[in-house]
């Protein structure tokens, strides 16, 4: 801002300096040297052209007017006794105004076309970004669709034999006395079958998510319900979940059970990321008709390369993770017409955002 002002002042300074120099030369040069006066008279075109170029029509006309006044004083003072020559000089004055108008107008045209070009450039950049985003989404959707089909097929095939194995393991385990070393194998088999059962139902949920049953919902209630369910797990490692809500609530139109699950997935990740102690902060804000909830943890954060992949199915960095928590969440949020994204600075924790349009007529 200051820079622009300084440049403007410099330009005004140059014009004033030129006008004063030429005028002083006019006044100081003897009238017996008319050829020099002719040169000065034409030199006035320079500040007029500059003013028209830099300050468009108004600047050009103001300079022409100032010059005309000074020039008239000079003609009147020095050339009054030479009416023919004086007339010739007076006749020059309208030319100053014509030039001011012409250069000012051309300069305005040039500025307008530059502005139009800049606007078109900015619009093009936005369109390009949108196109890239859409392309990314398409790629993600495509990957999800094919992975979903494949995993759903496998999960479906595994599910029935798994149920039989689960039943068989239960029955076999019952007959083994508690002191028998085989009891330990029975309990391992039971635990592993339960893990497989969780995995298959997660895969099925991922590939065939239920249609959302949307209700007008207070997001605070969803957050509270999700926090209640993970509080025990958080307390076990000394982590506190803090909520900072706005006084005024905006309702959203979502399936509360599905969004609760999304928040649970994010909260569990946040708890897992924070190995001991610390706190997780849940905040909210409303912006451009959107309710935005944020969950910030104080864990190690996520590197930029991993940040690109966390919503991909089966992407996990955990030994026991399936890598489906966030991809299921992504789908659930999308099916509820919302958005989910994360930001992170490695070493400074991660922040997960979910946003949904505010239910307009229903805000209280
Ligand atoms: N709050 C977080 N801080 C750091 N990394 C995170 C966080 N949340 C997610 N991640 C990264 O994203 C990966 C994917 O998360 P996602 O919830 O989909 O799967 P997961 O937690 O590994 O397994 P699960 O399917 O059991 O949830 C995680 O393995 C982890 O690397
Ligand atoms: Mg997870």
For 92-115, give the DSSP string.
Answer: HHHHHHHHHHHHHHHHHHHHHHHH
Closest to 67 (Cα-Cα) out of 37, 91, 97: 97
Q: What is the model's pLDDT at position 361?
A: 62
Q: Indicate whether 267 pLDDT > 90.
A: yes
CA distance 209 to 187: 32
Q: Which is higher by pLDDT, 263 or 187?
A: 263
Q: Which is higher by pLDDT, 259 or 166?
A: 259
**Cα–ligand 1 centroid distance for 19 (angstroms):** 72
Q: What is the model's pLDDT at position 210?
A: 85
Which of 22-26, 130-134, 233-237 is the least confident region? 130-134
Taking only the tens place, the pLDDT of each residue in 269-307 is: 999 998 788 899 999 999 989 999 999 999 999 999 999
Distances (CA, A) of 275 to 236, 297, 320: 11, 11, 15
| Contact by Cβ (8 Å): 290, 251 | no
Residue environment code for 189-210, b if the CB has 16+ CB neighbours within 10 A, otherwise e: beeebeebbebbebbbbbbeee
Question: Which of 269, 300, 346 for a ligand 1 pocket mutation test, highest count of atoms within 8 Å of Cβ?
Answer: 269
Q: What number of other Cβ atoms are within 10 A of residue 46's Cβ?
A: 14
CA distance 73 to 56: 26
Closest to 44 (Cα-Cα) out of 8, 5, 78, 70: 70
Q: What number of other Cβ atoms are within 10 A of residue 211's Cβ?
A: 8
Banded model confidence at residue 364, pLDDT cuts 50, 70, 90: very low
Question: Which of 203, 321, 342, 354 for a ligand 1 pocket mutation test, highest count of atoms within 8 Å of Cβ?
Answer: 321
Over range 201-220, report the average pLDDT: 87
Q: Indicate whether 177 pLDDT > 90.
A: no
Q: What is the model's pLDDT at position 215?
A: 94
CA distance 207 to 304: 27
Q: Indicate whether 362 pLDDT > 60.
A: no
pTM of the model: 0.61
**Cα–ligand 1 centroid distance for 314 (angstroms):** 10
Q: Indicate whether 123 pLDDT > 90.
A: yes
Closest to 76 (Cα-Cα) out of 125, 31, 111: 31
Query: Which ligand 1 atom is the nearest neighbour of the CA of 321?
Result: 23
All residues at 6 or more sequence positions from 199 whose CB lies less than 8 Å from its CB, including other chains = 155, 322
Q: What is the model's pLDDT at position 176?
A: 81
Q: Indicate whether 161 pLDDT > 90.
A: no
Closest to 79 (Cα-Cα) out of 121, 31, 116: 31
Over range 139-158, report the average pLDDT: 77
Taking only the tens place, the pLDDT of each residue in 308-324 is: 999 988 899 998 888 88
CA distance 317 to 273: 11
Point out the ligand nearest to the CA of residue 321: 1
Banded model confidence at residue 216, pLDDT cuts 50, 70, 90: very high
Question: Which of 326, 328, 331, 349 for a ligand 1 pocket mutation test, highest count of atoms within 8 Å of Cβ?
Answer: 326
The pocket around ligand 1, CB under 6 angstroms, is made up of: 265, 269-270, 273, 297, 299, 302, 306, 310, 315-318, 321-327, 350
Q: Indicate whether 1 pLDDT > 80.
A: no
Q: What is the model's pLDDT at position 188?
A: 87
| Contact by Cβ (8 Å): 333, 259 | yes
Taking only the tens place, the pLDDT of each residue in 54-104 is: 999 999 999 999 999 999 999 988 888 888 888 888 888 999 999 999 999
Taking only the tens place, the pLDDT of each residue in 127-148 is: 998 898 888 778 777 777 777 7
**% of the chain exceeding 70 in pLDDT:** 99
**What secondary structure letter does DSSP report for 337?**
T
Over range 113-133, report the average pLDDT: 92
Q: Indicate whether 32 pLDDT > 90.
A: no
């Amino acid at each position: 801002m200051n820079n622009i002002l300084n440049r403007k002042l410099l330009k005004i300074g140059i014009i004033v300096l030129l006008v004063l120099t030429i005028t002083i030369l006019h006044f100081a040069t003897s009238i017996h040297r008319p050829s020099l006066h002719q040169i000065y008279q034409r030199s006035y075109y320079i500040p007029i052209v500059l003013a028209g170029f830099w300050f468009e029509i108004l600047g050009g006309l103001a300079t022409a007017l100032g010059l005309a006044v000074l020039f008239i004083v000079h003609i009147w003072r020095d050339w009054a006794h030479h009416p023919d020559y004086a007339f010739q000089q007076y006749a020059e004055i309208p030319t100053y105004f014509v030039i001011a108008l012409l250069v000012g107008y051309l300069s305005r045209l040039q500025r307008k076309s530059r502005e139009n070009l800049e606007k078109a450039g900015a619009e093009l950049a936005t369109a390009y970004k949108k196109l890239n985003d859409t392309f990314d989404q398409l790629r993600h959707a495509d990957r999800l669709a094919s992975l979903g089909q494949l995993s759903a097929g496998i999960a479906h095939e595994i599910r029935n034999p798994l149920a039989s194995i689960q039943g068989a393991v239960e029955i076999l385990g019952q007959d083994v006395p508690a002191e028998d070393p085989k009891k330990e194998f029975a309990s391992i088999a039971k635990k592993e079958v339960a893990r497989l059962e969780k995995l298959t139902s997660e895969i099925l949920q991922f590939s065939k998510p239920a249609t959302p049953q949307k209700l007008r919902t207070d997001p605070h209630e969803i957050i509270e319900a999700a926090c209640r369910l993970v509080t025990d797990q958080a307390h076990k490692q000394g982590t506190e979940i803090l909520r900072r809500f706005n006084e005024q609530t905006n309702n959203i139109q979502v399936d509360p059970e599905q969004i609760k699950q999304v928040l649970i997935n994010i909260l569990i990740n946040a708890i897992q990321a924070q190995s001991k102690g610390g706190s997780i902060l849940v905040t909210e804000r409303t912006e451009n008709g959107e309710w935005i909830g944020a969950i910030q943890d104080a864990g190690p954060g996520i590197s930029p390369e991993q940040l690109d992949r966390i919503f991909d199915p089966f992407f996990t960095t955990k030994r026991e993770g399936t890598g489906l928590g966030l991809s299921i969440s992504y789908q659930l949020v999308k099916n509820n017409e919302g958005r989910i994204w994360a930001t992170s600075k490695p070493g400074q924790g991660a922040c997960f955002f979910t946003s949904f349009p505010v239910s307009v007529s229903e805000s209280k």
